[in-house]
Structure 1
């Protein structure tokens, strides 16, 4: 079964929402690390780790919910 344009649009919007939410988490983690006294490279590293972890979690949740709703 071929995916419809609506399905692809919703998938793209979900991916965009996941990336934006992960970016927000990364900014917050970087700011909190910097306020805690971390150097700028350490704060950027913590922000990157937070971005990767939250994006992985959100994509996994979207995949799980999509597979649960389509069965």
Structure 2
């Protein structure tokens, strides 16, 4: 039996959609991509990988804030 992780499937769809030329996208196409990316974020956020990304981004933001002072 083959199981597909929904987060992995959404990540593949996002990469596939973002590889297309910008000129070929309609507003609906762009909105759909945003919705898919948000859904991917919601699926990844509670996982250990998502928490690690959150920590890294938090440290990066903190470093940028301190560097600008």
The TM-score bracket by the shorter chain reads 0.3 to 0.5
TM-score (norm 2): 0.36
Structure number with higher helix proportion: 1
TM-score (norm 1): 0.35
